[in-house]
Chains A and B, each alone.
Chain A
Amino acid sequence: AQKVTQAQTEISVVEKEDVTLDCVYETRDTTYYLFWYKQPPSGELVFLIRRNSFDEQNEISGRYSWNFQKSTSSFNFTITASQVVDSAVYFCALRIYTGFQKLVFGTGTRLLVSP
């Protein structure tokens, strides 16, 4: 199966708390790509990160960090010192190739950061 699971439907935190969004994937491909997108209430899907299956290094970008572990098929996303502007729905996605490129999205995690 080619599948992405985001088990956390909704998370509520208070500003300045750290929060981790979980993503577990299933794929039969040996080469694959994983993505995180942010969707604020305005609706636009904002690209955050792309990671390929050969690169297991963790990545940090400002308050955002990603932990990719092939052994557990997980690609988790942590926001440090959360802010109200981080409130959004976050989607994890797997790129599959079946003659054309297709994104398989997880169901999304809604993050609500309160002041």
Chain B
Amino acid sequence: DTEVTQTPKHLVMGMTNKKSLKCEQHMGHRAMYWYKQKAKKPPELMFVYSYEKLSINESVPSRFSPECPNSSLLNLHLHALQPEDSALYLCASSQDRASGGSRGETQYFGPGTRLLVL
């Protein structure tokens, strides 16, 4: 089973709202990722969690706040977003051994959340 689920599928929010995106996987993967994808562009990496610890923040503005409550769940908290933050937000997971091991684990993606900021 290579399923990563994301909720909600669509989200419309105002610039003063606070909302959260959720991602879940039950493949026993220990690395989880958030990507942002604008129309007609490839996905851009935002955050990486490895073994429930934030490993990478790719210079993402603080209005995006990730959280990894456990090894199966990944949240992205949104606050005071701008219209240019409207995009498809994709979650992914991989086995990703923190040290050593294969470096080629495949990332499996969820269906994404389409976010519109008004």
Contacts and interface: CB of A to CB of B under 8 A. Distances in A.
B90 A101 contact: no
Interface stretch (A17-25, A43-51, A66-74, A80-88): A43-51
A83 to B, nearest CB: 22
Given A45-B90, A106-B42, A108-B42, A101 B111 contact: no
B96 A35 contact: no
B81 interface: no
A91 B90 CA distance: 15
Interface string B27-51: 0000100000000111101001010
Interface stretch (B18-26, B62-70, B72-80, B99-107): B99-107
Contacts of A37: 109
A33 B103 contact: yes
Interface string B79-118: 0000000001010101010000001111111111010000
Q: How large is the interface on A (under 10, 10 to 19, 20 to 34, 35 or more residues)?
A: 20 to 34
7 contacts: A45-B43, A52-B104, A101-B103, A101-B105, A102-B56, A105-B42, A107-B41
A52 B105 CA distance: 11
A31 B102 CA distance: 11
A103 interface: yes
B55 interface: yes
B2 interface: yes
Question: Majority SS of interface residues in chain A?
Answer: strand
B103 A97 contact: yes
B104 A33 contact: yes
A52 B106 CA distance: 11
Given A35-B106, A37-B109, A107 B56 contact: no
Contact of A44 (B56, B104, B111): B111
Contacts of A30: none
Given A105-B43, A108-B42, A44 B48 contact: no
B95 to A, nearest CB: 10
B50 A44 contact: no
Contacts of B110: 44
